[in-house]
Structures are given as structure tokens and as C-alpha cells.
Amino acid sequence: MDTFIQLTIDALTLGSVYALIALGYTLVYGVLKLLNFAHGDVFMVGSFIGFGVFNALGGGSTPKVPVWLLLTLVTLAAMVGCAGLGVVIERFAYRPLRDAPRIAPLISALGVSFFLANSMQLLFGAQPRNYNVFNLDNGALYLKGFDIGQVRVPLLRIITITSAFVLMLVLWFLVNRTRTGKAMRATSFDREAAAMMGIDIDRVIVFTFVLGSALAGAAGVMFALRVPTTVSIGFVSGLKGFTAAVIGGIGSVPGAMAGGLILGFAESYTEGYVSTKWSDLVVFCLLIAFMIFRPQGLLGRADIRKV
Amino acid sequence: MKKAIALALAVLATSIVAASAQGSSKVANASTAVSCKGTFDLPFLTPLTGGAGFLGTEQASWAKYAVKTLPSQYGLKVKLLLGDTPAEAGPAPALALAQKYIADPRVVAVLGPSTSGDAGATAKPFFAAGIAEVSPSATHTDLTYGTPGDPLTGTPAFFRDVARDDQQGSTDAAFMIGKLHVKKVVSMDFQEPYSVGLSKEVDDALQKHGVTVIHFSAPNTTTDYSAYVTKVPSDTDIVFFPTQKPGDAQTMAQQLIEQGKKAKVFGGDGSNDPSQFKVPGSYLSNFAAPISLFPYNKSIIAGWQKDNPGKQVGSFGPPTFGAVQIILQGIKATCADDHGVIKARHDVIRHIKKVKIKNFILGGNFAFSTKTNDPLNRGFYIFQIQSNGTYKLVQSPGA
């Protein structure tokens, strides 16, 4: 039973990060019908921005501000930095190709992905960066928390899972309860009609990239708080985020959240009950199974074509 | 028609390139004479980037310092060539660099490779070319010492100035049994030669003494060990974690505490980095003690620190300095024997085997064993991480 509880906590932690990454994919696809393969590398850049700000504020050993403020500022900095990066990527790599055949922005996205990964490697090297939050407040993030049976749920996990869910709620509110969100949904439904109704499409698209990239930045920090980050984390994490978006239904915001959690559970339980060597195999087999049997994903809409 | 001509030209160009590459490697083979008055190229294969980049970067700084200060003592001129071999990329970069250096006629010996995987992969090509290798950190046992279950993968041209994994494994296991009184140990490997070899040595030694050993195998690209930590029984005493990435040792130790497990991490020499692996109570073993323990190293330490301001002397760098010294002494002896000309590269191998150095940087006098190409009388040191993150020596070789 303890193993099951521990694996469930691992699943929620991992799934929350995947959900945040998946949301970026799904938002951009919903509005632009573009698979933004650079999104995983935006996530990676977020983890590095967070690392820089974390150390600028004193790091794990001698923080200059209280722990809660330190983590908040680090996350906000990563979100703002990645949002800015998202705007730049959209402006220079995707906007000129908006009316080109769909393969063109896809290739451009791949190019941006390689550009980001290699630029970061040139600038910062391939050394892993460890936030070392272990030393914060005498190990409070690891030693404090609550127990479920014999299993401790440490503060760090609580913060990660809660923050991810809060961000998802904020996103849901933005998309469903604000004018800008309405404009995003209209654009995703029919871009031309939305333009004819007076919606500034360019602004909507930029806002979408801001939102998606900011979430990726937050996910980068949450990931790197627990494990060392390197320039190579973007590729695999991005791939898993994309898988989560597809499983949930690419273009569907609740679908991306569900897909991320499903992926987290699949990976965690496979590692715990089958073998750690099988987890990636299971995850990508899930992707293939969904593509064959339910290509629209769990909560996505099947395309209706008029004949 | 135009396409056919273009295809034919492409095939012709490829053939010419392949033939010239073939030709150039024939030029610089084992029997090409090299004048000792010119500048020797000394390649160093080490991971300058990637998870093990901390090791290569430190070793490279000591290699540069050695090449700056030592050649004049031997009347030689040497140019250091750094070749990056990231651990995550496997042996492919090392093999590609090996071919490049074999084709260089001014290369008569190689420093490194630093990692056991690269050393195993490049041993035969370098031996075929008659080039000696002296590694400052490749500790896999079968590079110099084969056993019936684990045949020799090294060659007579491969040397090292640090002790072997079986010596490390037996030292680590003896410490766990004798000093820590372990009953249950989880041991891990990362599906690469260093950790697979070392964890096997430790597992065998522990099991012989009745210790329960549970073994996990993780891909070398793993960064999150939560799933493995979940499977560590709560009564485990030690998690033996021979990673080459100190950040991962830190992550494992943190995640053990996060999940309320009492087990402490015991790392190998690959996790030796106080700036990255610093969870108090953890252990690690290393093939070198602090060189500041030996007074005759004072000027070397001062000189290196002047070239590397703000840096601390680690434990991977000094064996590199020692390895350069061994190579230079071997080249010098070959030049003297061959009257100012190295008639054949493989002559250097013979002279390196006979090298003897007084007041060696790692302590004591240096010579190679007569039975293997390992240093005589070297061993492993064990450290425990203190509450302030420093490493305290808790056992010396022979203790």
C-alpha cells in the first residue's frame, strides 16, 4: 500500500509538469494548427532562467529573501523570460510562415528547437545545474510535509503539485471567463471568421504564445527544483508533453491537463510495478494506441469534414 | 544526363576522400621515425562537456599546467590537444578522435582516455598504431587485469597511474562491512562499463560476507531517481551509487531523504565533487588523497592555483599531472635510447613501462607493477561528507 501511495505522489508530481508542457502545445495548436516542437526547449530555457535567478538571490545556502518569496520570484522570472522568448519565436519563426503550407512552420519549429538547444549549450555548456534547494531552511522542503500512512509527502512535492494545479485553474479561467479567452476560442474555431468579427488575430496569437511559453517556464522550474537540469532535457520532456497533449486531445485545454496526468500515472506505475526500463516504451505505446483507436484524444473533437 | 554526371562526380569525390584518408593513416603508422627536437603533440581524451564535464575540465586544467611546466625539465617541446568525449555520447567521439590522433605523426603517446568506456573502446586501435596511453582516471579492472569471468580488454600499451575498480570495490565493500556493519545494500549501475564493473565488484564482495544486495540498473540518461528510491527497502543501510555525475549522487541522496529512507549514498570516485555532491552523512571513495598532504607538492599546488585563480585543488587533476610526467619521462628515455629520434612509436610503450619517479605527486615513489600496467602500491581512500559539505578522510589505503 505504501508503494502505491508513493507512486501516486510521484505520478501527480510528474503528471503536473507534463500537463503544464502539454498545455503550451495544445494552446498553440488550437489557435494556429501548428505543432510547436520548440516548446520543449522553451521549457529547458525556463529551468535555466530559474537557476540564474535562484543563484542571484543567494541560492540554496544563503538566500537573500524568505523561501516562499525566493521560489515565487524564481518561477515568475522563468515565466516572464519564457513568455518573452515565445513572443520572439512567434514573430520571427512562425508569423512569416502563417500562410505557407503546413509543413513549413513545422520545419521552422524543428529548426528553432535545435537552435535553442545548441545556443544554450554554447552559452552555458553541457554541465548539469542543480538548484540545491535541499539546503534551504535546513532542508525544510524535504523534511517537512505530511504523512499518509508510512509515506511522507514532502513540502517540495506539495508545492509542485499545488502550483501546477493553480496555474491550470488560472489558465482555465483566462480561456473560459475573459474576453481575450473568448477571442482565443473564436480564433481557434475559425480564424478568418474571427478576423471578420474584428478580433485582432495577431494579438490573439501572440497572447497564446505568451501563455503557453509562460507555462513551460513554470514547468521548467518545477522540474529543476527536484532534479538537475541540462540543455538536453528539452527534447524528451517536450516529446512527453506532446504525447500528453495528443492523448488528451490536441487543441483541448482540459484534455491537455488530463493527458499530462494520465502520462504521469502511466510512467510512474510502470516504473514501480513493472520495470523502470519499460516506462518510456509504455508511454509511447499509449501514444500509438490513441492515434490508432481514438485519434482525437480523450477530450478532443473529431474532425467533421463536409463532402 | 546531367543527373548521371553529377552522381558520378559525387561518387568520384567520395572515393578520392576515402582513399586519401586511407593513405594518410598509412603515413603515420607505428614505424614512422620522429625527431625529438620537434614539438610532440599530446592528445588528451576527456569529457569536457556533459554530465562528467566537471571531471574533464578539472583534469584539463592540470594537463595544461603540466604541459606548461614539465617539458623543459625533460628537454622536450609538447603541445596539448584536448579532445572532448562527453560521457552521454558513448565511445563514438573517442573512437573518432583516436583515428584523428593515430594519423598525426607527432603523436607518440596519449593522455587518457579519462573514462573506462572510452579506454576500452580505443585500446586496440591505439595499440595497433603502437601508441601508449596513460590514463589518470579509467579504473575498470579488465583494462589491465583480466580474470576468467572478466577477460582483459586493455592492451600492453594501456597504463594508468591510479588504482583499479577491483581494488576500489574490495576497499568499499570492506569499509561497509567492517566500519558500517551493513546488513542490506542496494547497488546500482548505469549501463556503462565503469559503474557495471565497480558495482559487480562490490556486490560480489558484499554477498560473500552474507550482506543482502539488491541491484538496480538505470539508463545513463536518468536524472530522476524517484522510482528507484520507492523500491529501496526502508531497512537498507547503504545505496551504492557509482555514478560519474556528482549531481545525480546529490539527487539520489536528496530523494532518499525526501521519501524518508534511512539509507545513505555511497558514491565512487566519479561522484567526487564537493560543489555538487554534499548531502551530509554520505560516503564516497576516491583513488587519491589530497595532495597537500605531501610537502614537496607545495610549489606545484601554488603554481596551479596561480594559473587557476579561485579554484580549489580537486582529486581528479593531480593524477593527470602525474600521467603527463610519466609520458614525458617515457618519451625522454626513448629519445635517449634512440639517439634523438623515436624510431618507432611502440618504443615509447617499452620505456613508459620502466618509468620510476621519486616524490610522485600522488604520494611516495612511482613505478608500474611488473605483472600489470597498474601503479605499484596504490589504493583507495574513503571520505564522509560533513555537515558543512566538506569531505573528511575516514579511511586510507591499508587501514
* Contact yes or no for B227 and A142 at CB 8 A: no
Over residues B278-284, the mean pLDDT reads: 94
pLDDT of B241 > 70? The answer is yes
Q: Are residues B74 and B133 in the same domain?
A: yes
Over residues B344-359, the mean pLDDT reads: 95
- With an 8 Å Cβ cutoff, is A84 touching chain B? no
pLDDT in the model for residue B21: 45
pLDDT of A187 > 80? The answer is yes
* pLDDT tens digit sequence for B384-398: 999 988 888 898 886
pLDDT band at A235 (very low <50, low <70, confident <90, very high): confident
* Contact yes or no for A128 and B227 at CB 8 A: no
**Residue at A268 is within a domain:** no
Q: What integer best gives the mean pLDDT of chain B?
A: 89
Q: Are residues B246 and B351 in the same domain?
A: no
Say if residue B348 is exposed, middle or buried (CB neighbours under 10 Å; 0-12, 13-18, 19+): buried
Q: Are residues B123 and B38 in the same domain?
A: yes
Q: Are residues B159 and B255 in the same domain?
A: no
**Domains identified in chain B, total number:** 2
- With an 8 Å Cβ cutoff, is A230 touching chain B? yes
pLDDT band at B28 (very low <50, low <70, confident <90, very high): very low
- With an 8 Å Cβ cutoff, is A98 touching chain B? no
Q: Which residues pair with B159 in a beta bridge?
A: B134
- Residue in B closest to A156 by C-alpha: B258
- DSSP one-letter code for A229: B
- With an 8 Å Cβ cutoff, is B226 touching chain A? yes
B-contacting residues in A 261-290 (Cβ below 8 Å) = 268, 271-272, 276-277, 279
**Residue at B16 is within a domain:** no
**Residue at B130 is within a domain:** yes
Widest pairwise Cα distance in chain A: 67
Q: What integer best gives the mean pLDDT of chain A?
A: 89
**Residue at B281 is within a domain:** yes
Q: To the nearest whole angstrom, how far is the Cα of A283 from the nearest Cα of chain B?
A: 15
Q: Are residues B143 and B122 in the same domain?
A: yes
Q: Are residues B261 and B297 in the same domain?
A: no
pLDDT of A6 > 60? The answer is yes
- Residue in B closest to A270 by C-alpha: B227
Q: Are residues B40 and B126 in the same domain?
A: yes
Rounded to whole angstroms, how far apart are CA atoms A199 and A204?
A: 8
* Contact yes or no for A227 and B224 at CB 8 A: yes
Least confident of A145-154, B9-18, B272-281: B9-18
* Contact yes or no for B217 and A134 at CB 8 A: no
* Contact yes or no for A134 and B247 at CB 8 A: no
Over residues A89-100, the mean pLDDT reads: 90
Q: Are residues B192 and B51 in the same domain?
A: no
The parent domain of residue A68 ranges over 15-235
What is the grid cell recorded at B206?
558484499
pLDDT of A129 > 90? The answer is no
The parent domain of residue B114 ranges over 34-163+293-367
* Contact yes or no for B53 and A142 at CB 8 A: no
Q: Are residues B257 and B390 in the same domain?
A: yes
Contacts of A8 in chain B (CB under 8 A): none
**Residue at A159 is within a domain:** yes
Q: Are residues B344 and B272 in the same domain?
A: no
**Domains identified in chain A, total number:** 1
- With an 8 Å Cβ cutoff, is B354 touching chain A? no
Mutate one of A1, A3, A6 to test the B interface: name it (highest B CB count within 10 A). A6
- Residue in B closest to A2 by C-alpha: B230
Q: Where are the beta strands (DSSP E) in chain B?
A: 34-35, 39-46, 77-84, 109-111, 132-135, 158-160, 184-189, 212-217, 238-241, 264-267, 283-286, 341-342, 356-357, 366-367, 381-385, 391-395
* pLDDT tens digit sequence for B135-152: 999 988 889 988 766 678
- DSSP one-letter code for A41: H
Q: Are residues B388 and B329 in the same domain?
A: no
* Contact yes or no for B227 and A268 at CB 8 A: yes
pLDDT in the model for residue B26: 40
**Residue at A5 is within a domain:** no
- CATH code at B339? 3.40.50.2300
Backbone angles phi, psi at B109, to 5 degrees: -160, 160
Grouping H, G, I as helix, E, B as strand and the rest as coil, residue A113 is helix
**Residue at B59 is within a domain:** yes
ipTM over 0.85: no
Contacts of A233 in chain B (CB under 8 A): 223
Backbone angles phi, psi at A28, to 5 degrees: -65, -40
**Residue at A216 is within a domain:** yes
Q: How many CB atoms lie within 10 A of CB A4?
A: 14
- Residue in A closest to B219 by C-alpha: A277
Q: Which of B56-70, B159-173, B263-277 has the highest mean pLDDT?
A: B56-70
What is the grid cell recorded at B252?
539520489
